[in-house]
Amino acid sequence: MTDLKDGAEAVFAGTLDKFQIWRRDAYEAELDAQGGDELLAGGQDMLSLLPPDPET
């Protein structure tokens, strides 16, 4: 495991019941290796998966 040093950035990536902490550069490299950073089919915005805000 690599320690994060000053100036390094971390990414929290996960699903409903699990998450991982990645170094930002390693996470972006993994996304590129998987064919880009489009995580949802059709380029759907992740925030669209959240339920509507009951206060609006």
What does the pLDDT read at residue 19?
A: 93
Domain ranges of the chain: 1-36
What does the pLDDT read at residue 53?
A: 81
* Higher-scoring residue by pLDDT: 48, 56: 48
Express each pLDDT in 5-53 by its tens digit: 677 788 898 888 999 999 888 888 888 887 755 567 777 777 778 888 8
Put simply, whether the predicted model's pTM sits higher than 0.85 gets the answer: no
What does the pLDDT read at residue 14?
A: 86
Contact 46, 40 (CB under 8 A): yes
What does the pLDDT read at residue 21?
A: 92
SS3 14: strand
Q: How far is Cα 35 from Cα 19, in angstroms, rounded to an integer?
A: 21
